[in-house]
């Protein structure tokens, strides 16, 4: 794997989508993986842009064909990372961001120990609830289920390499830039370049 893999997780409504989208708008050379899901599209979703919206049968067939790098069930729906585009970008030396929940992230960690794991945090649980309600894309029952799920994700935060506070979108994007830039400068990721260029 020649490029770098960044995995972004965090509770629903924290602003992962908002921050990752703003980041790749500024850095279009970085590939933000488009997941497949069986959940229904919501306002703002576009098939093939935010997700590939497929049914359960199609999802199971994808699993059987080993088409996903990882997959998980989240609040009753399947979500999975299509393997081919991610591996293609990494092999070509490109950087890739996966915005996925923590079961999938832990699976990625066992297969790609060199990947970088970033947990997006809200300033408080009250603010998280305000954002989920303010987004107005789920029923009150679905929002409650996502808040319960969020509480079960926080203990996993400690397994990530970085906490990305999303108190303000512009500040969070700056922090993500700082993390990605620093990780790309990390010496173990650059040994091959030094060997090839200067130690022939």
Q: Please give the structure tokens belonging to residue 174.
A: 């700056």
Q: Which residues bind ligand 5GP (CB under 6 A)?
A: 12, 16, 35, 39, 70, 72, 74, 79-81, 99-101, 103-104
Minimum CB–partner distance for residue 150 and ligand ADP (Å)? 10
Q: Could you tell me the strand order of the sheet in which 5-9 lies? A: 31-32, 96-99, 5-9, 116-121, 162-165
Minimum CB–partner distance for residue 171 and ligand ADP (Å)? 8
Nearest to 110 by CA among 120, 99, 102, 121: 102
Residue number with CB closer to ligand 5GP (3 or 104): 104
**How far, CA to CA in Å, does 129 sit from each of 42, 44, 151, 171?**
18, 20, 12, 21
Interface residue with ligand ADP, options 3, 13, 80, 104 (CB under 6 A): 13
Query: HSE (CB half, 13 Å, CA atoms) of 154?
Result: 12
4 binds, among ligand 5GP, ligand ADP, none (CB under 5 to 8 A by kind): none
Minimum CB–partner distance for residue 75 and ligand 5GP (Å)? 7
Sites of contact with ligand ADP (CB under 6 A) = 10, 12-18, 131, 134-135, 166-169
């Amino acid at each position: 794997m020649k490029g770098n893999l960044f995995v972004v997780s965090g509770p629903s409504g924290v602003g992962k989508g908002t921050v990752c989208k703003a980041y790749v708008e500024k850095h279009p050379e970085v590939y933000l993986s488009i997941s497949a899901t069986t959940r229904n599209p919501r306002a703002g979703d576009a098939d093939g842009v935010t997700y590939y919206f497929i049914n359960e049968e199609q999802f199971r067939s994808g699993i059987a064909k080993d088409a996903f790098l990882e997959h998980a069930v989240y609040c009753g729906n399947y979500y999975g990372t299509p393997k081919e585009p991610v591996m293609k970008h990494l092999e070509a030396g490109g950087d890739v961001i996966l915005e996925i929940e923590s079961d999938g992230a832990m699976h990625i960690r066992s297969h790609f120990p060199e990947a970088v794991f970033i947990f997006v945090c809200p300033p408080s649980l009250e603010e998280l609830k305000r954002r989920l309600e303010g987004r107005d894309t789920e029923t009150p029952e679905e929002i409650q289920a996502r808040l319960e799920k969020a509480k079960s994700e926080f203990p996993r935060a400690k397994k990530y390499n970085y906490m990305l506070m999303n108190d303000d979108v512009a500040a969070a994007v700056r922090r993500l830039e700082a993390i990605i830039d620093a990780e790309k400068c990390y010496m173990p990721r650059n040994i091959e370049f030094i060997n090839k260029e200067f130690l022939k």
